[in-house]
C-alpha cells in the first residue's frame, strides 16, 4: 500500500507520520507538497499535525484552499482512506469533509501529554484492529482541540456510528461528548486530535497507535484481494 503524507507550510508532524508508515508499518510512503495536483498514484492520504500557514485566521482555514486539497476531496470521494491528525483534522473540518468545528481548549492552554482513548466503533477501516470499548494510550498536542457540533449533528454522529474515539477518563479540551475522533458517513475519512503516529513503538511510551495504521492496510488488502 502506498501512502501520501501531505506537507503544508508549517506542518511539523510530517516526519513522524512518514516514520510511522515506513519504519514501523513497513509500507511505501512519500511526502507530497501542498501544491501537488495529482494524488491518483496513492492508496491512502495522510494529513499530519502542525501549524499549517501559521494557523492564521483559524486552524486549517488557509490550508483548506491549497491546490492539493482538491485532490484530497477527490480521493475521499473515490473511497480512499483519508486520515487527518490534529491540524489535519482541523483542515478536514474546514474543507467540509467532516462535520463540526474546532474551538480553543476550555482551559485556553496548549496541552501536550498522553491520554486515554476509548474505541467507540471498531468496525471501520481505521479501527478494525481494536476490540470494542478498548482503551488505548495516545499523545495529544494541541491548543484548539475542543470539538463542537450542533445537537442535530451530534445525534447523527451517534446514530451512524461516526464517533470513532472518545477520551477515556478526563476530557482534556472540553470537546462535545468527549469526542476525540470522528469519521464521515461513508467511513473512509477519519479526523482525530490525538497523534497515533507518535505511539507506534514501545520506546515512545505506547505502540497502540500502530494498530490504527495496520487496520488501514488490512482493510485495503482485504478490499483488493483478487479471486481466481
Strands (E), the chain: 2-7, 28-33, 44-47, 82-85, 101-103, 111-119, 135-142, 146-148, 163-168, 179-183, 189-192
Q: What is the CA radius of gyration of the chain?
A: 16
**Count of Cβ atoms closer than 10 Å to residue 223 Cβ:** 9
Told to judge if 144 belongs to the known catalytic residues of this protein, a careful annotator would answer: no
Residues in CB range of 78: below 8 A, 6 or more apart: none
Told to judge if 195 belongs to the known catalytic residues of this protein, a careful annotator would answer: yes
User: How far is the C-alpha of 60 from the C-alpha of 62, rounded, in Å?
Assistant: 6
Catalytic residue among 34, 142, 195, 219: 195
Catalytic residue among 86, 142, 144, 149: 86
Catalytic residue among 27, 120, 197, 219: 197
User: How far is the C-alpha of 97 from the C-alpha of 94, rounded, in Å?
Assistant: 8
Residues in CB range of 191: below 8 A, 6 or more apart: 83, 84, 85, 88, 89, 90, 92, 93, 97, 98, 181, 182, 183
What residues are labeled active site?
86, 195, 197
Amino acid at each position: 500500500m502506498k501512502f501520501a503524507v501531505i506537507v503544508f507550510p508549517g506542518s511539523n508532524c510530517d516526519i513522524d507520520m512518514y516514520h510511522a508508515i515506513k519504519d514501523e508499518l513497513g509500507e511505501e510512503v512519500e511526502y507530497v507538497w501542498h501544491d501537488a495536483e495529482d494524488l491518483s498514484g496513492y492508496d491512502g492520504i495522510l494529513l499530519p499535525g502542525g501549524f499549517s500557514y501559521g494557523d492564521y485566521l483559524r486552524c486549517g482555514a488557509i490550508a483548506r484552499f491549497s491546490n492539493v486539497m482538491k485532490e484530497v476531496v477527490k480521493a475521499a470521494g473515490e473511497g480512499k482512506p483519508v486520515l487527518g491528525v490534529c491540524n489535519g483534522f482541523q483542515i478536514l473540518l474546514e474543507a467540509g469533509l467532516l462535520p463540526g468545528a474546532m474551538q480553543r481548549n476550555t482551559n485556553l492552554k496548549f496541552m501536550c501529554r498522553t491520554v486515554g482513548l476509548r474505541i467507540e466503533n471498531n468496525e471501520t477501516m481505521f479501527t478494525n484492529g481494536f476490540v470494542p470499548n478498548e482503551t488505548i494510550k495516545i499523545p495529544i498536542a494541541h491548543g484548539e482541540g475542543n470539538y463542537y457540533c450542533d445537537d442535530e449533528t451530534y445525534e447523527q454522529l451517534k446514530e451512524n456510528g461516526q464517533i470513532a474515539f472518545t477520551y477515556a477518563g478526563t476530557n482534556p479540551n472540553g470537546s462535545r461528548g468527549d469526542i476525540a475522533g470522528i469519521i464521515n458517513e461513508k467511513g473512509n475519512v477519519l479526523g482525530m486530535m490525538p497523534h497515533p503516529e507518535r505511539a507506534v513503538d514501545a520506546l515512545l511510551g505506547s505502540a497502540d497507535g500502530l494498530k490504527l495504521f495496520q487496520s488501514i492496510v488490512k482493510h485495503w488488502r482485504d478490499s483488493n484481494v483478487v479471486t481466481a
